[in-house]
């Protein structure tokens, strides 16, 4: 751990008018922001270059790696980089991965909102909300059978912080929970999980699940984790929910499945392979899809919370104490 004889110097990658930066008022006296910018031009001056060379920490509030990778040669003293977001697949350029720089992210901070959205998706299909809306709009009174969540099964692919938050609510509804993860042993003693599955058992999990939830990180190994074979193995009538990353699902295979060539009955999608979702995508028109514009965790202050949490972790970093932030395994990709 490096020793800091003066203030910890922080470079912030963000637009200067980013409202979340007011949360940096929570920084302790032992740290100060020396430079803020969102493009190479912002850091091209002599003063800004000196700030980069002296920076101990980078707070990244922009979702792309291109700028940071360009600045990388100038960040000669960098010890820690924090991402305001949970996803880091876009940040893992080779030089950062191979370096000793600590990388943290906002993993776990947004899990509660995502879990609520997951249950919304389950209830949307269980209670046939699409039909309810149609009948109300058309002033049509016709009773129909609905389903219960109680007694059904939720299978979670990529069981981590978000998956656990979803499992907690699923249990409150009386659901059975199946969990799949790269290291199944980490579920040992988890009272929320009824059965654990390993990396090669995704089709088995899907064949037993009424609601299939994806919350995995995006890595080269998880890209198109769910494609034709997995969709064909799904339990008849099951609902697929993606709250992880869009490319976890082979979107064309999913569209084909939703049109009737597989067992999947519907999908709840907050993330997509291309964002914004192109107007030409058939997903917009499918009645058995509930989609949202990647905002399931977008509460009024979610990014403010993330920056504030970073600022409040500075003293712990200086004292070499546990940060209370998620440390990314750069080789694993999450």
Q: What domains can be seen in the chain, in order of their start residue?
A: 8-109+300-327 (3.40.50.720), 111-291 (3.40.50.720)
Active site residue 150: no
- In tens, the pLDDT along 238-290 reads 999 999 999 999 999 999 999 987 799 999 999 999 999 999 999 999 999 99
Task: Give 77's pLDDT tier (boundaries 50, 70, 90).
Answer: very high
Q: For strands 80-83 and 31-37, give the pairing.
A: unpaired
For 49-58, what is each residue's pLDDT tens digit? 999 999 999 9
Catalytic entry in 131, 168, 294, 304: 294
Binned at pLDDT 50, 70 and 90, residue 6 comes out as: low
Confidence of residue 5 (pLDDT cuts 50, 70, 90): low
Q: Dump pLDDT digits (tens) for 181-210.
A: 999 999 999 999 999 999 999 999 999 999
Taking residues 107-134, what's their average pLDDT?
96
Give the residue with greater pLDDT, 6 vs 141.
Answer: 141
pLDDT at 317 over 90: yes
**Across 224-239, average pLDDT:** 97
Read off φ and ψ for residue 95, nearest 5 degrees: -60, -40
Q: Any catalytic annotation for residue 275? A: yes
- For 209: left if phi > 0, alpha if psi spans -120 to 50, otherwise beta; the answer is beta
Q: Would you call 294 a catalytic residue per the annotation?
A: yes
Peptide bond preceding 295 in cis form (omega within 30 of 0): no
Percent of the chain with pLDDT over 90: 90
pLDDT, position 1: 41
- Ranking 36-40, 87-91, 193-197, 290-294 by mean pLDDT, the lowest is 87-91
d(CA 149, CA 170): 8
Supply the Cα-derived Rg of the chain in whole angstroms: 22
**What is the pLDDT, as a whole number, of residue 164?**
97
pLDDT value of position 87: 86
CA 300/CA 324 separation, integer angstroms? 22
Nearest CA to 230 out of 180, 186, 271, 187 is that of 180
Spatial separation of the C-alpha atoms in residues 198 and 157, rounded to whole Å: 10
Q: What pLDDT is stored for residue 2 in this prediction?
A: 46
Q: Which of 95, 148, 221, 275 is catalytic?
A: 275
SS3 track for 46-81: HHHHHHHHHCCEEEECCCCCHHHHHHHHHCCCCCEE
Question: What pLDDT is stored for residue 7 in this prediction?
Answer: 87
**E-assigned strand segments in the chain:** 8-13, 31-37, 57-60, 80-83, 102-105, 153-157, 176-180, 195-197, 211-214, 239-242, 266-269, 289-291, 326-327
Beta bridge partners of 8: 31
170 CA to centre of own chain: 19
Instruction: Note the pLDDT of residue 324.
Output: 79
Cβ atoms of 95 and 69 within 8 Å: the answer is yes
Alpha carbon separation from 160 to 34, 103, 108, 193, 301 (Å, rounded):
35, 18, 9, 12, 23
**Cβ count within 10 A of residue 58:** 22
Cα torsion 306, 312, 318, 319: sign: negative
Identify the active-site residue in 79, 82, 176, 245.
245
What value does the mean pLDDT of the chain take?
95
């Amino acid at each position: 751990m490096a020793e800091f004889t003066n203030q910890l110097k922080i470079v912030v990658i963000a637009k200067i008018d980013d409202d979340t930066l007011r949360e940096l008022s929570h920084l302790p006296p032992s740290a100060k922001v020396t430079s803020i910018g969102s493009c190479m031009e912002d850091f091209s001056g002599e003063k800004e270059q000196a700030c980069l060379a002296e920076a101990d920490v980078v707070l990244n509030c922009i979702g792309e790696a291109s700028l940071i990778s360009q600045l990388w040669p100038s960040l000669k003293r960098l010890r820690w980089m924090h991402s305001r977001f949970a996803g880091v697949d876009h940040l893992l350029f080779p030089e950062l991965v191979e370096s000793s720089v600590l990388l943290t992210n906002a993993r776990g901070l947004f899990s509660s909102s995502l879990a609520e959205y997951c249950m919304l998706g389950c209830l949307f299909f269980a209670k046939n909300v699409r039909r309810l809306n149609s009948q109300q709009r058309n002033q049509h009174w016709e009773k129909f059978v609905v389903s219960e969540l109680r007694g059904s099964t939720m299978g979670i692919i990529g069981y981590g912080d978000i998956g656990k938050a979803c499992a907690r609510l699923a249990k409150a509804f009386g659901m059975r929970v199946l969990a799949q993860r790269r290291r199944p042993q980490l579920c040992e003693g988890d009272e929320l999980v009824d059965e654990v599955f390993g990396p090669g058992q995704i089709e088995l999990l899907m064949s037993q699940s009424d609601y299939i939830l994806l919350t995995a990180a995006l890595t080269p190994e998880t890209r198109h984790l769910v494609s034709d074979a997995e969709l064909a193995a799904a339990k008849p009538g099951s609902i697929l929910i993606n709250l992880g990353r869009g490319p976890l699902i082979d979107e064309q295979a999913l569209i084909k499945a939703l049109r009737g060539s597989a067992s999947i009955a519907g999908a709840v999608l907050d993330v997509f392979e291309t964002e914004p979702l192109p107007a030409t995508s058939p997903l917009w028109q499918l009645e058995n899809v509930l989609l949202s514009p990647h905002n399931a965790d977008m509460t009024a202050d979610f990014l403010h919370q993330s920056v504030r949490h970073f600022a409040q972790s500075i003293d712990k970093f200086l004292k070499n104490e546990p940060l209370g932030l998620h440390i990314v395994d750069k080789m694993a990709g999450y």
